[in-house]
Structure 1
Amino acid sequence: MPFALYLLGLAVFAMGTSEFMLSGLGPDIARDLHVSIPVSGYLTSAFAVGMVIGAPLMAILSLRWSRRHSLLFFLVTFLLVHVLGAVTTSFGVLLVTRVVGALANAGFLAVALVTATAMVEPNAKGRATSALLGGVTVACVAGVPAGALLGQLWGWRSAFWAVAVVSVPAVFAILRAVPTGSPDSPGSVGPSARKELRALRGPRLLVTLLLGALVNGATFCTFTYLTPLLTTVTGLGSGWIPALLALFGLGSFVGVAVGGRSADVRPVPFLVTGGVALLIGWIVFAVTAGNPAAAVVLVFVQGALSFAVGSTLIARALYAATGAPTLAGGLATAAFNVGGAIGPWLGGIAISAGLGFRSPLWVSALLVALALALAAASVARAVRRRSSRPGQDHCAGAVTTHTRRT
């Protein structure tokens, strides 16, 4: 993999840290800016909304720029709003910086996905995607705990400064490694919005995005409530929590690495096997959540399986929309953030209904089961369509073969 790709991953690491670090900084922000803790929670909600809305919107806006200009604009904007967030004394201003930062994050990730896959061979998109998304998993392992530690030592503002500083090397990497040019040049984003929108009409991409939303919803449904699950159901002390959260992040890192290679070689068997294993894992976790040894093992295993399947689905979305790489990246980002918002919401409903902190595990299992059912229905529909039009499929195959030869 090109070294510049890992520096883009460093920017994704900074952005992932920014997205998740407020979970450990909320009380300090609330106290310093004179708001309640529930109100400080709006900062997380604002970032999530900005990611969902911003991913496709920023992807469309960036189509008229070169990849280099787009990445620079989004990354520098992200960097500057964190500097502003670090110095402001107004909660309202901080809230606005979170929204703008999320928009920049979404736009950067959408363009970075297509830039990363353009840096490698056409059959290596999965590995390029995993190298880029590795930044998110490293943020779970190291970035979020580091942000919490900085907040404890030097206050919550130091975490914002750290995110800005970590983003700087990626700026130089973009200037050095990403070529400039017009939107239609080889080193740029590519086709117009109209052309990309036409290329997104295929049902395969829509199904892939829905699967990604369901799998990610399952992941963050449990991850959001992992701390109360482990302390109240499993019976582990609070001192275990940072290590177990890091273990989940370590598993996700392993899963992204494995999924990236599988997405380029045997994606369908891997998704089927991984999806079934993920479903079984959530069920086993729900049944054995009261056993500390089983819970520790399953925290790692489910983190690995969740991100292995999830990263493979992102890569398949890019493969499914080669004529619309930027919008496909934006929609994949949006779909996964929709899942990241819906999963915790459903888990919260289950807990509020009196089903206990074990219930998010069952919700996660249900979401993965829905994903498998959707995938099976999609495959069955495709088989029926092929069998009902054998003549048309034969002609279409001949035309495709002739086109490739010419």
Structure 2
Amino acid sequence: MVTRLRQLTDRHPRPVEAAFLLLIYAATSNQYRRTDTDTIWWPGFVLAAIACTSLLVRRRRPGTVVVLTALVTAVAGIQGSMFGPLLLLPVVVALYELTLRASQRAVRIHSVLAVVILLPTALHPDPGGDPWASRAVSLAFWVLLPVLYGSAVRARRAYLDSVRTRAEDAERTRYEEAQHRVTEERVRIARELHDVVAHHMALANAQAGTAAHLFATHPAQAGRILTELTGTTTAALRELEATVGLLRQPEPAEESLNPAPGLDRLPDLVAAFAAAALHITITVDGPVQPLSAGADLTAFRIVQEALTNVAKHAAVNTAHVNLAYSDEQLTITVSDDGGPVTPPRAPGGGFGLIGMRERAQSAGGRLRAGHRPEGGFAVTAELPISA
């Protein structure tokens, strides 16, 4: 019933408001009778109309409406009308609206004003009515009732608003977290594809260039490099297919058919770059420590990308890889000695250094890259052993 009434009020607010005020007018104006003669006091209809009409602006000027309805009710009571809840009905409605919309200080002030205005009427001698003490208690009750009920409704609305706000904040936080996860996943996918595609394509480009250079003078060696180029492109396609296959799986596979590469594949990496005329030396300092799967993959990808950058951007045919193990950290240094001529940079820039730095940070380490004082370029990554 209450739900239907609220729906009716939401759909037809003006007719419901008019019916509500007419009902108050009918109940209030019927009290404008003289208690001693039981005759209707006709000016009371005008006062009832004033009181009920003022309720139209109770939401905009609640304090003024409280004072006006209290004055009208006091005048009616002084003229001999029956002092009771029906006569006080406009004051009750005005006090309720005031409590919903005004500050607590304003509610206290206007409640006291209403009592001050109505108290003489409540204490007015009435030989045929209730004793003055009973009427004073009745006045206090009907003034406090809308204030207390309005305060409860206001607190309830504030609680519901806070719940709604928290729900909206939680929903927004979940959405932002989902967006953040999507962004992180996109970056991870881009990094994986870059590591797979950029390395093999740069290696294939270097092998093709070397073969073209040797084709006229050393055709046998050029043919051997072209054969290795086929293996490079095949490996690129195989790794790309495996990466895309993992991304298309709805859930992570429990076991991968092809284990993630690690530092144990450095000899294969060195041999592949040797076919592209880049000779790599590997040195190891300290006792070799077993790495976790994440640290092993990160270390291999950083070495792979750093050597790819040497092949693409440095006019040299040698590079150095140093692996320095300590109890808790692996330091990887990939460097070259530079050359007299710097090859032109590939159009569109690149994401090699960005990807390596992101990989190192995701494993709990850090990465530095820059030109060496003695010439050349160096990439240094420090990774925790148990990342």
TM-score (norm 2): 0.23
RCO greater where, 1 or 2, for CA within 8 Å and sep 6 or more?
1
More helix by share: 1
TM-score (norm 1): 0.22
Structure with the greater alpha carbon radius of gyration = 2
